[in-house]
């Protein structure tokens, strides 16, 4: 049945004409029921289309997210890997050996004077480095500390307050600390003669 069949029934035409004569109210009920069914079907189709559209939208968003994730992963994989954590034993050995070579070069310089800002951190490091250098000779340490203070007094004139030390003293101290922390002995160092 279609709407034209219902429309033509009161005119005594079409397949529903007899039913209109016999029980017109039944025909109206059937028409209302058919319209409700049609409306329900339309609503279901709309809901299905909306759900389909939502599903498509969700899938698109998931794909966008997945594509963004894949693009990010691709970008990350293209970046050189940045080692995390402490250096490997081999890296630490190379670094300690480079520090040894640099220390030799500093030791051969004519002047190793170095002035650093007078901060509590720098003062503590310079004192620790000097103690390290003169670990077996407390008198030499006291002389060095006194010389640093005299140098500090002369630098104060017209310049910001600085602490005087020697680059080779600081480097040797840092190298020894690094070697200690990484379990490296002087015997482990790579030969730097050919560098």
pLDDT digits (tens, 9 = 90+) for 12-21: 888 888 887 7
**3-class SS at 153?**
helix
Token duo for residue 3 = 């709407």
pLDDT at 20: 78
Token duo for residue 122 = 């720098």
pLDDT at 159: 47
Distance between CA 59 and CA 19 in Å, rounded?
51
- Residue 113 — left, alpha, or beta (φ > 0 → left; ψ -120 to 50 → alpha)? beta
Q: What separation in angstroms does the CA of 156 have from each of 4, 121, 139, 150?
A: 108, 19, 26, 10
pLDDT tens digits, residue range 74-121?
666 665 555 567 888 888 888 888 888 887 777 777 777 888 888 889
Indicate the DSSP class of residue 17.
Answer: H
**3-class SS at 136?**
coil
Distance between CA 23 and CA 35 in Å, rounded?
19
pTM assigned to the model: 0.47
pLDDT tens digits, residue range 126-171?
888 888 887 755 565 566 555 555 444 444 454 457 888 888 888 8
Token duo for residue 23 = 């029980």
CB of 98 closer than 8 Å to CB of 132 = no
Q: Is the pLDDT of residue 32 over 60?
A: yes
Distance between CA 155 and CA 158 in Å, rounded?
7
Q: Closest by alpha carbon to 130, among 86, 176, 182, 169?
A: 169
């Amino acid at each position: 049945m279609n709407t034209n069949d219902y429309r033509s029934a009161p005119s005594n035409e079409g397949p529903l004409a007899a039913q209109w004569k016999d029980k017109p109210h039944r025909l109206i009920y059937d028409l209302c029921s058919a319209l409700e069914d049609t409306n329900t079907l339309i609503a279901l189709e709309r809901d299905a289309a909306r759900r389909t559209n939502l599903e498509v939208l969700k899938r698109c968003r998931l794909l966008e997210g997945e594509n963004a994730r894949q693009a990010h992963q691709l970008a990350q994989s293209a970046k050189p890997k940045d080692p995390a954590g402490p250096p490997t034993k081999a890296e630490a050995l190379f670094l300690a050996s480079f520090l040894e070579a640099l220390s030799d070069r500093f030791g051969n310089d004519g002047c190793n004077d170095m002035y650093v800002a007078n901060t509590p951190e720098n003062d503590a490091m310079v004192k620790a480095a000097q103690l390290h250098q003169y670990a077996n000779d407390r008198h030499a340490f006291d002389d060095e500390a006194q010389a640093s203070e005299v140098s500090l007094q002369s630098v104060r004139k017209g310049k910001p307050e600085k602490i005087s030390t020697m680059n080779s003293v600081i480097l040797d101290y840092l190298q020894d600390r690094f070697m200690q922390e990484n379990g490296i002995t002087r015997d482990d160092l790579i030969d730097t003669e050919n560098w």
